[in-house]
Each structure stands twice: as C-alpha cells, then as structure tokens.
Amino acid sequence: MRATTLLDDASHATTLATSDGTNYYEAVGSDLVLELSLTWRLDRLVYTGDEAALERVRMMRQRARSRVAARTLELLFAWQRASLDAADAAKGTREELDAWLHASEAEAKLDVLTDGWFSRRKNDDRGDPDP
C-alpha cells in the first residue's frame, strides 16, 4: 500500500462575462493518491516453500537408513565369516582366538546397530534367556 500527496501550483487566466478585462489568479491544489497492490501467488496453492525442505529431510533420512542397513549387512557377514573361521581353526591356537575376537566385535556392533535385537534373537535361537 502506498499513499502520495500531489501538489499543483498553477496560474490561471479567466475572462468574466460581466467585465471587459481578464482576471488572473493563483491556484494551489493538493491531491491525495492511494495505491493498493495485491499479489496472488497461485503456484503456492500447489507447492509451498516448506515442501522442498521437508522432501530434503525425508531424502536424508532415507539415505541414512540405507547406510545403516548396508553397514548392518556388512557386519552380519563379517560376524558369520569370523564364526566360521573360529570353528575351522585348531583349538587353542592364536588363529581361533583372533577369529572369536572378530566375531565378538562384529556381534557387539550388530547389537548397537539393532538396539539389542541381534543378541536377543541369537539367545532365542539357542534357547538362552534374555540377558
């Protein structure tokens, strides 16, 4: 919205019908102009600026979930390999100890990534009670 004041300063010459002469007079005028502008953003009816930010957050969360899933699978296979290596190694050797340590490390990481589900599931499969 905008308001403007216009000032007019003019000299006018007028001829009167009753006299033979010409009369001059000074006129000062003032006008008030109000201007109102409305803007319609029809694109906002379908798409708002917040949607882009929300979509970006959704995509970030999806990528994070994918990374966690990939890391979980990676650790699951590392645990499986280490468990098989420990079973194949000769009893009481350094190789068996290293394999069991790698299996335990992978198991602990899997427990963290799955919020304890991995060890609970492992204990359920063995028939052990929950820790």
Span 45-71, pLDDT tens digits: 666 667 778 888 999 999 999 999 999
Higher pLDDT: 22 or 63? It is 63
Q: How many residues would you count in the chain?
A: 131
Cβ atoms of 109 and 75 closer than 8 Å: yes
Span 78-87, pLDDT tens digits: 999 999 999 9
Cβ atoms of 35 and 1 closer than 8 Å: yes
Query: 72: number of CA atoms within 13 Å, CB side?
Result: 15
Global pTM? 0.53
Which residues does residue 54 pair with via DSSP β-bridges, in sequence order?
Answer: none
Decide: helix, strand or coil at residue 111.
Answer: helix
What percent of the chain has a predicted confidence (pLDDT) above 70?
A: 70
Given 3-state DSSP classes, what are the helix, strand and coil percentages for the chain, each rounded to the nearest 5? 55, 20, 20
What DSSP designation does 18 have?
Answer: T
Q: How far apart are CA 119 and CA 94, in angstroms?
A: 26
Name residues whose C-beta falls within 8 Å of residue 3's C-beta, 6 or more positions apart in sequence. 32, 33, 34, 35
